[in-house]
Structure 1
Amino acid sequence: MSLTVERVLVPVDGSDESLEAVEYALAVAERYGAAVHAVYVLGEEVVRAIETDAVDGEEVAEDTEAFTETVREMAARRDVPVSSSIAYGFSTTRKSRHPGSVILDTAEEISADFLVIPREPVTGEPAEVLEKAAEYVLLYASQPVLSV
């Protein structure tokens, strides 16, 4: 059986661990001639702050854009096409919305063939939301998953 990969999904959250996952995603994409899609997953505290106007949504967008620009630069060095998006990893109105479900929903929406997810140590840092998602993605993804 041969593995065909056209699009690799890598969720990111601004952490060093998610940058390492990007490196792996780019290596997989380079090997298979695929594209990479980086989805920046916003954590619960950031989402609540945006919804209550405690933080400027434009400021959050600028921060995520700066991080995704780093991802684009990494991809350009390897000549790998890259796209990106931002997603709320938490909802105050949908109980079933969490980082793992957001990642799997994004994988379905973009027709991802392969997922690379950071398996971060539990640090308690509110900005690092992917540490809660890795196990969920590993359990429920229909695509091959590399957890790094």
Structure 2
Amino acid sequence: MPLEVDTVLVPVDGTEASVSATEYAVAVAERYDAAVHALYVLGETVARGIDAGDVAEDDVADETSAFVADIEALAPPSVPIDSSIAYGFSTSRKLHHPGSVILDAAEDVDADFLVVPREGMRGDAADVLEKSAEYVLLYASQPVLSV
């Protein structure tokens, strides 16, 4: 039975590793005539800063929008890219972490394929994407490419 892919989900965080993962996601989407959904996952430092009022949400929104615009430019016109932003951590919900956020987003956007970077998060708890990639590989019901 051939693989059918309509939506490829790629979590990103503004790092080079997430740009690379997006390039792979675009290649998969192009191969299967699919769309890409980029999920910008905010790290723990940013999430806590926003909650504490130390980081302006508008600044974060501007930064994430600029990054998403940059990765949209990577795709040919035949590969539509849309995006969303999610807190990778919560100060009030114990089971809210990047891996669960990625899998929840995959379900929300009805993703058929996931491409997850293994590095990144700008030094915010340095191995967050690595650990979330491991979590996603263990628990995803879709095919996953970890790059």
Query: Under TM normalisation by the shorter chain, which class is it?
Result: over 0.9
Within the alignment, does 1:49 sit opposite 2:44 as a pair?
Answer: no
Q: How much does 1:72 deviate?
A: 1.2
Counterpart residue type for residue 100 of structure 1: G
Q: How much does 1:109 deviate?
A: 0.4
Alpha-carbon distance in 1 for matches of 2:58, 2:5: 34
Counterpart residue type for residue 2 of structure 2: S
Show CA shifts across 1:31-67 (max 9, x none).
Answer: 0000000000001110000011101110011111110
Q: How much does 1:79 deviate?
A: 2.6
Alpha-carbon distance in 1 for matches of 2:49, 2:122: 18
Check conservation: 2:15, 2:122, Cα contact below 8 A.
no
Show CA shifts across 1:66-103 (max 9, x none).
Answer: 1000111112x353111000000000111000000000
Check conservation: 1:6, 1:33, Cα contact below 8 A.
yes
Going from structure 1 to structure 2, the CA distance change for 1:54 and 1:106 (only over 3 Å counts) comes to: same
TM-score of the superposed pair, with normalisation by structure 2: 0.94
Aligned to 2:103: 104
TM-score of the superposed pair, with normalisation by structure 1: 0.94
Alpha-carbon distance in 2 for matches of 1:4, 1:87: 27
Instruction: Give runs of ≥4 in structure 1 deviating > 2 Å.
Output: none
Q: Within 5 A, what are the aligned runs for 1:5-44?
A: 5-44=5-44
Aligned to 1:92: 91
Secondary structure of 2:123 counterpart: coil
Aligned to 1:126: 124
CA RMSD, 1 decimal: 1.6
Counterpart residue type for residue 12 of structure 1: V
Within the alignment, does 1:146 sit opposite 2:145 as a pair?
Answer: yes
Corresponding residue pairs, total: 146
Alpha-carbon distance in 2 for matches of 1:32, 1:124: 31
Q: Which runs of 5+ in 2 are unaligned?
A: none
Q: Which runs of 5+ in 1 are unaligned?
A: none
Aligned to 1:115: 114
